[in-house]
Structure 1
Amino acid sequence: MLKKPETNEYPPYYKEYVNNVPDGDLLQILDDQQKKTKKLLKDLSEETAEFKYAPGKWTIKEVIGHITDTERIMCYRLLSIGRGEQEMLPGYNDDEYVKRGQFNRFSLSDLLHHQALVRQHTILLLSSMDEESLRRRGNANGSEVTARAIAYIIAGHENHHRRLIKERYLSSER
Protein backbone atom coordinates (compact mmCIF):
# COMPACT_ATOMS: atom_id res chain seq x y z
CA MET A 1 0.00 0.00 0.00
CA LEU A 2 1.30 3.44 -0.93
CA LYS A 3 2.03 5.76 1.95
CA LYS A 4 1.58 9.49 1.76
CA PRO A 5 4.71 11.27 0.59
CA GLU A 6 6.81 13.33 2.95
CA THR A 7 6.74 17.10 2.42
CA ASN A 8 10.25 16.98 0.93
CA GLU A 9 8.95 14.84 -1.95
CA TYR A 10 7.00 17.59 -3.71
CA PRO A 11 6.95 21.39 -4.14
CA PRO A 12 5.07 23.32 -1.43
CA TYR A 13 2.32 24.43 -3.83
CA TYR A 14 1.08 20.80 -3.99
CA LYS A 15 0.65 20.54 -0.21
CA GLU A 16 -3.11 21.18 -0.37
CA TYR A 17 -3.59 18.40 -2.90
CA VAL A 18 -1.54 15.85 -0.96
CA ASN A 19 -3.18 16.76 2.35
CA ASN A 20 -6.66 16.40 0.85
CA VAL A 21 -6.15 12.73 0.05
CA PRO A 22 -7.58 10.58 2.84
CA ASP A 23 -5.60 7.80 4.45
CA GLY A 24 -6.08 4.37 2.93
CA ASP A 25 -5.31 2.39 -0.19
CA LEU A 26 -4.52 4.98 -2.86
CA LEU A 27 -5.53 2.67 -5.71
CA GLN A 28 -8.96 2.25 -4.12
CA ILE A 29 -9.18 5.98 -3.40
CA LEU A 30 -8.44 6.76 -7.07
CA ASP A 31 -11.07 4.28 -8.23
CA ASP A 32 -13.69 5.52 -5.76
CA GLN A 33 -13.14 9.22 -6.38
CA GLN A 34 -13.59 8.94 -10.13
CA LYS A 35 -16.89 7.14 -9.49
CA LYS A 36 -17.91 9.93 -7.10
CA THR A 37 -17.16 12.57 -9.73
CA LYS A 38 -19.19 10.67 -12.32
CA LYS A 39 -22.09 10.21 -9.90
CA LEU A 40 -22.04 13.92 -9.05
CA LEU A 41 -22.20 15.01 -12.69
CA LYS A 42 -23.76 12.26 -14.82
CA ASP A 43 -27.32 13.58 -14.61
CA LEU A 44 -26.51 17.23 -15.32
CA SER A 45 -28.02 18.79 -18.40
CA GLU A 46 -25.67 19.96 -21.12
CA GLU A 47 -26.78 23.50 -20.32
CA THR A 48 -25.78 23.15 -16.67
CA ALA A 49 -22.48 21.51 -17.71
CA GLU A 50 -21.68 24.68 -19.68
CA PHE A 51 -22.41 26.98 -16.73
CA LYS A 52 -19.68 29.40 -15.57
CA TYR A 53 -20.03 30.75 -12.05
CA ALA A 54 -18.18 33.97 -12.98
CA PRO A 55 -16.80 35.65 -16.10
CA GLY A 56 -13.46 34.19 -17.14
CA LYS A 57 -14.01 30.95 -15.21
CA TRP A 58 -14.27 27.50 -16.78
CA THR A 59 -17.46 25.59 -17.41
CA ILE A 60 -18.03 22.24 -15.69
CA LYS A 61 -17.14 20.55 -18.98
CA GLU A 62 -13.89 22.51 -19.08
CA VAL A 63 -13.13 21.54 -15.49
CA ILE A 64 -13.58 17.85 -16.35
CA GLY A 65 -11.39 18.30 -19.43
CA HIS A 66 -8.79 20.03 -17.25
CA ILE A 67 -8.84 17.24 -14.66
CA THR A 68 -8.36 14.69 -17.43
CA ASP A 69 -5.58 16.58 -19.22
CA THR A 70 -3.77 17.19 -15.96
CA GLU A 71 -3.98 13.52 -15.05
CA ARG A 72 -2.57 12.59 -18.47
CA ILE A 73 0.36 14.93 -17.93
CA MET A 74 0.92 13.83 -14.34
CA CYS A 75 0.75 10.19 -15.38
CA TYR A 76 3.48 10.81 -17.95
CA ARG A 77 5.55 12.42 -15.21
CA LEU A 78 4.82 9.48 -12.90
CA LEU A 79 5.97 7.01 -15.56
CA SER A 80 9.05 9.03 -16.51
CA ILE A 81 10.26 9.62 -12.98
CA GLY A 82 9.41 6.09 -11.89
CA ARG A 83 11.53 4.76 -14.73
CA GLY A 84 14.45 6.97 -13.75
CA GLU A 85 14.22 9.89 -16.16
CA GLN A 86 16.71 12.56 -15.13
CA GLU A 87 15.85 15.24 -17.71
CA MET A 88 13.57 18.04 -16.58
CA LEU A 89 9.97 17.39 -17.58
CA PRO A 90 8.17 20.47 -18.91
CA GLY A 91 5.38 22.37 -17.26
CA TYR A 92 2.18 23.35 -19.02
CA ASN A 93 -0.26 26.23 -19.11
CA ASP A 94 -3.59 24.82 -17.95
CA ASP A 95 -5.59 27.80 -19.23
CA GLU A 96 -4.18 27.33 -22.73
CA TYR A 97 -4.82 23.58 -22.61
CA VAL A 98 -8.45 24.21 -21.63
CA LYS A 99 -8.89 26.83 -24.35
CA ARG A 100 -7.39 24.59 -27.02
CA GLY A 101 -9.16 21.48 -25.72
CA GLN A 102 -12.52 22.96 -26.76
CA PHE A 103 -14.22 20.76 -24.18
CA ASN A 104 -17.63 22.42 -24.53
CA ARG A 105 -18.04 20.81 -27.96
CA PHE A 106 -18.14 17.37 -26.30
CA SER A 107 -21.03 15.91 -24.37
CA LEU A 108 -20.57 15.69 -20.63
CA SER A 109 -21.02 11.94 -20.94
CA ASP A 110 -18.10 11.71 -23.39
CA LEU A 111 -15.88 13.82 -21.14
CA LEU A 112 -16.67 11.63 -18.12
CA HIS A 113 -15.92 8.54 -20.23
CA HIS A 114 -12.53 9.96 -21.24
CA GLN A 115 -11.80 10.73 -17.60
CA ALA A 116 -12.70 7.17 -16.57
CA LEU A 117 -10.39 5.70 -19.22
CA VAL A 118 -7.49 7.91 -18.17
CA ARG A 119 -8.10 6.96 -14.53
CA GLN A 120 -8.03 3.25 -15.43
CA HIS A 121 -4.66 3.85 -17.06
CA THR A 122 -3.38 5.66 -13.98
CA ILE A 123 -4.46 2.83 -11.68
CA LEU A 124 -2.87 0.21 -13.94
CA LEU A 125 0.39 2.14 -14.11
CA LEU A 126 0.52 2.67 -10.35
CA SER A 127 -0.27 -0.96 -9.62
CA SER A 128 2.64 -2.02 -11.83
CA MET A 129 5.23 0.10 -10.03
CA ASP A 130 7.30 -1.16 -7.11
CA GLU A 131 8.31 0.83 -4.04
CA GLU A 132 11.73 1.68 -5.44
CA SER A 133 10.18 3.17 -8.58
CA LEU A 134 7.67 5.19 -6.56
CA ARG A 135 10.42 6.67 -4.38
CA ARG A 136 12.48 7.86 -7.37
CA ARG A 137 13.00 11.58 -7.66
CA GLY A 138 12.90 13.61 -10.80
CA ASN A 139 12.34 17.15 -11.96
CA ALA A 140 8.99 18.32 -13.29
CA ASN A 141 8.32 21.94 -14.13
CA GLY A 142 11.54 23.02 -12.44
CA SER A 143 10.88 21.29 -9.11
CA GLU A 144 12.00 18.03 -7.58
CA VAL A 145 9.23 15.49 -7.02
CA THR A 146 8.89 11.76 -6.40
CA ALA A 147 6.74 9.43 -8.43
CA ARG A 148 4.80 8.61 -5.26
CA ALA A 149 4.03 12.28 -4.67
CA ILE A 150 2.70 12.61 -8.21
CA ALA A 151 0.23 9.79 -7.53
CA TYR A 152 -1.10 11.69 -4.52
CA ILE A 153 -1.17 14.96 -6.45
CA ILE A 154 -3.39 13.30 -9.07
CA ALA A 155 -5.85 12.21 -6.39
CA GLY A 156 -5.73 15.53 -4.54
CA HIS A 157 -6.22 17.49 -7.76
CA GLU A 158 -9.49 15.69 -8.52
CA ASN A 159 -10.70 16.12 -4.91
CA HIS A 160 -9.92 19.83 -5.15
CA HIS A 161 -11.91 20.32 -8.34
CA ARG A 162 -14.84 18.14 -7.23
CA ARG A 163 -15.13 20.33 -4.12
CA LEU A 164 -15.07 23.48 -6.28
CA ILE A 165 -17.75 22.04 -8.56
CA LYS A 166 -19.98 21.39 -5.56
CA GLU A 167 -19.35 24.78 -3.97
CA ARG A 168 -19.24 27.09 -6.98
CA TYR A 169 -21.22 25.38 -9.71
CA LEU A 170 -23.84 23.22 -8.03
CA SER A 171 -24.62 25.20 -4.89
CA SER A 172 -28.25 25.98 -4.22
CA GLU A 173 -27.58 29.70 -4.46
CA ARG A 174 -27.21 29.64 -8.24
Structure 2
Amino acid sequence: MLKRPSVEDYPEYYRGYVGLVPEGDLVCIIEEQQKVIEELISSLSDIQANHRYAPGKWSLKEVFGHMIDAERIMSYRLLRIARGDQTPLAGFNEDFFVENADFYKRSMTDLLEEYMTVRQSTLALVRGLPEESWDRKGIANEKVTSASALVYIIAGHELHHLNIMKDRYLE
Protein backbone atom coordinates (compact mmCIF):
# COMPACT_ATOMS: atom_id res chain seq x y z
CA MET A 1 0.00 0.00 0.00
CA LEU A 2 1.31 3.42 -0.99
CA LYS A 3 2.00 5.69 1.98
CA ARG A 4 0.93 9.33 2.08
CA PRO A 5 3.83 11.54 0.97
CA SER A 6 5.39 14.02 3.37
CA VAL A 7 4.94 17.73 2.67
CA GLU A 8 8.58 17.88 1.53
CA ASP A 9 7.74 15.49 -1.33
CA TYR A 10 5.66 17.94 -3.36
CA PRO A 11 5.12 21.68 -3.90
CA GLU A 12 3.05 23.58 -1.36
CA TYR A 13 0.38 24.47 -3.92
CA TYR A 14 -0.61 20.77 -4.08
CA ARG A 15 -1.26 20.44 -0.33
CA GLY A 16 -4.97 21.04 -0.77
CA TYR A 17 -5.24 18.21 -3.29
CA VAL A 18 -3.20 15.74 -1.24
CA GLY A 19 -5.20 16.68 1.87
CA LEU A 20 -8.48 15.73 0.15
CA VAL A 21 -7.40 12.12 -0.37
CA PRO A 22 -8.82 9.88 2.35
CA GLU A 23 -6.76 7.27 4.16
CA GLY A 24 -6.78 3.83 2.60
CA ASP A 25 -5.55 1.88 -0.39
CA LEU A 26 -4.88 4.53 -3.02
CA VAL A 27 -5.49 2.19 -5.96
CA CYS A 28 -8.93 1.35 -4.54
CA ILE A 29 -9.63 5.04 -3.98
CA ILE A 30 -8.74 5.87 -7.59
CA GLU A 31 -10.85 2.97 -8.87
CA GLU A 32 -13.79 4.20 -6.79
CA GLN A 33 -13.33 7.74 -8.13
CA GLN A 34 -13.64 6.35 -11.63
CA LYS A 35 -17.00 4.79 -10.76
CA VAL A 36 -18.27 8.03 -9.22
CA ILE A 37 -17.19 10.08 -12.24
CA GLU A 38 -18.63 7.56 -14.68
CA GLU A 39 -22.00 7.64 -12.92
CA LEU A 40 -22.06 11.42 -12.64
CA ILE A 41 -20.91 12.22 -16.18
CA SER A 42 -23.10 9.60 -17.86
CA SER A 43 -26.15 11.21 -16.22
CA LEU A 44 -25.48 14.65 -17.78
CA SER A 45 -26.83 16.01 -21.03
CA ASP A 46 -24.63 18.09 -23.30
CA ILE A 47 -26.80 21.10 -22.43
CA GLN A 48 -26.05 20.61 -18.71
CA ALA A 49 -22.39 20.04 -19.50
CA ASN A 50 -22.09 23.33 -21.40
CA HIS A 51 -23.38 25.27 -18.35
CA ARG A 52 -21.12 27.92 -16.81
CA TYR A 53 -21.94 28.90 -13.24
CA ALA A 54 -20.66 32.44 -13.87
CA PRO A 55 -19.44 34.51 -16.83
CA GLY A 56 -15.80 33.83 -17.67
CA LYS A 57 -15.77 30.48 -15.85
CA TRP A 58 -15.21 27.15 -17.54
CA SER A 59 -18.22 25.09 -18.53
CA LEU A 60 -18.67 21.77 -16.79
CA LYS A 61 -17.50 20.14 -20.02
CA GLU A 62 -14.31 22.23 -19.90
CA VAL A 63 -13.73 21.32 -16.24
CA PHE A 64 -14.04 17.66 -17.16
CA GLY A 65 -11.70 18.08 -20.13
CA HIS A 66 -9.21 19.85 -17.86
CA MET A 67 -9.37 16.90 -15.45
CA ILE A 68 -8.50 14.55 -18.30
CA ASP A 69 -5.63 16.72 -19.53
CA ALA A 70 -4.21 17.18 -16.03
CA GLU A 71 -4.32 13.46 -15.27
CA ARG A 72 -2.56 12.68 -18.54
CA ILE A 73 0.18 15.19 -17.73
CA MET A 74 0.56 14.07 -14.10
CA SER A 75 0.73 10.42 -15.18
CA TYR A 76 3.46 11.29 -17.66
CA ARG A 77 5.35 13.05 -14.88
CA LEU A 78 4.81 9.98 -12.69
CA LEU A 79 6.25 7.71 -15.37
CA ARG A 80 9.34 9.86 -15.89
CA ILE A 81 10.07 10.38 -12.19
CA ALA A 82 9.30 6.78 -11.20
CA ARG A 83 11.75 5.56 -13.85
CA GLY A 84 14.45 7.76 -12.37
CA ASP A 85 14.55 10.36 -15.15
CA GLN A 86 16.13 13.52 -13.74
CA THR A 87 15.28 15.73 -16.73
CA PRO A 88 13.30 18.75 -15.46
CA LEU A 89 9.70 18.55 -16.66
CA ALA A 90 7.88 21.65 -17.84
CA GLY A 91 4.74 23.06 -16.29
CA PHE A 92 1.59 23.70 -18.30
CA ASN A 93 -0.93 26.50 -18.55
CA GLU A 94 -4.32 24.94 -17.84
CA ASP A 95 -6.23 27.91 -19.29
CA PHE A 96 -4.27 27.67 -22.54
CA PHE A 97 -4.98 23.95 -22.75
CA VAL A 98 -8.73 24.47 -22.23
CA GLU A 99 -8.85 27.37 -24.71
CA ASN A 100 -7.28 25.19 -27.38
CA ALA A 101 -9.17 21.97 -26.75
CA ASP A 102 -12.65 22.83 -28.12
CA PHE A 103 -14.26 20.66 -25.46
CA TYR A 104 -17.61 22.31 -26.25
CA LYS A 105 -17.59 20.57 -29.65
CA ARG A 106 -17.31 17.11 -28.09
CA SER A 107 -20.06 15.02 -26.58
CA MET A 108 -19.95 14.03 -22.94
CA THR A 109 -20.00 10.41 -24.09
CA ASP A 110 -16.80 11.01 -26.05
CA LEU A 111 -15.15 12.84 -23.15
CA LEU A 112 -16.18 10.09 -20.74
CA GLU A 113 -14.64 7.47 -23.03
CA GLU A 114 -11.38 9.44 -23.10
CA TYR A 115 -11.46 9.84 -19.30
CA MET A 116 -11.96 6.09 -18.82
CA THR A 117 -9.02 5.35 -21.13
CA VAL A 118 -6.74 7.82 -19.35
CA ARG A 119 -7.80 6.54 -15.91
CA GLN A 120 -7.20 2.91 -16.91
CA SER A 121 -3.77 3.89 -18.19
CA THR A 122 -2.99 5.65 -14.91
CA LEU A 123 -4.12 2.63 -12.91
CA ALA A 124 -2.02 0.25 -15.04
CA LEU A 125 1.02 2.47 -14.51
CA VAL A 126 0.49 2.70 -10.75
CA ARG A 127 -0.08 -1.04 -10.38
CA GLY A 128 3.02 -1.86 -12.41
CA LEU A 129 5.56 0.35 -10.69
CA PRO A 130 8.12 -1.40 -8.50
CA GLU A 131 8.13 -0.45 -4.81
CA GLU A 132 11.48 1.33 -5.03
CA SER A 133 9.98 3.77 -7.55
CA TRP A 134 7.71 5.49 -5.05
CA ASP A 135 10.45 7.40 -3.23
CA ARG A 136 12.11 8.67 -6.39
CA LYS A 137 12.02 12.42 -6.88
CA GLY A 138 12.30 14.64 -9.88
CA ILE A 139 11.66 18.20 -10.97
CA ALA A 140 8.28 19.16 -12.41
CA ASN A 141 7.33 22.78 -13.00
CA GLU A 142 10.59 23.78 -11.32
CA LYS A 143 9.67 22.04 -8.04
CA VAL A 144 10.78 18.77 -6.45
CA THR A 145 8.07 16.12 -6.57
CA SER A 146 8.10 12.44 -5.64
CA ALA A 147 6.48 9.65 -7.60
CA SER A 148 4.20 8.79 -4.67
CA ALA A 149 3.10 12.42 -4.33
CA LEU A 150 2.03 12.47 -7.97
CA VAL A 151 -0.45 9.66 -7.42
CA TYR A 152 -1.94 11.54 -4.47
CA ILE A 153 -2.03 14.72 -6.56
CA ILE A 154 -3.90 12.88 -9.32
CA ALA A 155 -6.48 11.57 -6.85
CA GLY A 156 -6.78 14.86 -5.00
CA HIS A 157 -7.07 16.94 -8.16
CA GLU A 158 -10.00 14.81 -9.25
CA LEU A 159 -11.66 15.12 -5.83
CA HIS A 160 -11.18 18.90 -5.93
CA HIS A 161 -12.90 19.22 -9.29
CA LEU A 162 -15.60 16.70 -8.42
CA ASN A 163 -16.46 18.90 -5.42
CA ILE A 164 -16.56 21.96 -7.68
CA MET A 165 -18.84 20.16 -10.12
CA LYS A 166 -21.25 19.23 -7.34
CA ASP A 167 -21.16 22.62 -5.59
CA ARG A 168 -21.20 25.01 -8.54
CA TYR A 169 -22.63 23.18 -11.52
CA LEU A 170 -25.04 20.59 -10.22
CA GLU A 171 -26.72 22.43 -7.35
TM range, smaller chain: over 0.9
1: distance between equivalents of 2:125 and 2:43? 30
2: distance between equivalents of 1:131 and 1:55? 46
Give the C-alpha shift of residue 131 in structure 1: 2.0
Correspondence for 1:143: 143
Which consecutive residues of structure 2, in runs of 5 or more, have no partner in the other structure? Answer: none
Alignment length, in residue pairs? 171
1: distance between equivalents of 2:35 and 2:101? 23
Which consecutive residues of structure 1, in runs of 5 or more, have no partner in the other structure? Answer: none
Correspondence for 2:167: 167
Give the C-alpha shift of residue 53 in structure 1: 0.4
2: distance between equivalents of 1:53 and 1:166? 11
Correspondence for 2:41: 41
Q: TM-score, normalised by structure 2?
A: 0.98
Over 4 Å off, 4+ runs: none
Q: TM-score, normalised by structure 1?
A: 0.96
Deviations 1:43-72 (A, max 9, x none): 211111000001111111111110000000
Correspondence for 2:76: 76
2: distance between equivalents of 1:110 and 1:46? 11
2:30 aligned with 1:30: yes
1: distance between equivalents of 2:156 and 2:129? 20
- Greater shift after overlay, 38-47 or 102-111? 38-47
Instruction: Tell me the SS of whatever aligns to 1:135.
Output: coil
Correspondence for 1:9: 9
Structure-to-structure mapping, 1:89-108, within 5 angstroms: 89-108=89-108
Q: Percent identity?
A: 49
Give the C-alpha shift of residue 169 in structure 1: 0.4
1: distance between equivalents of 2:119 and 2:45? 23
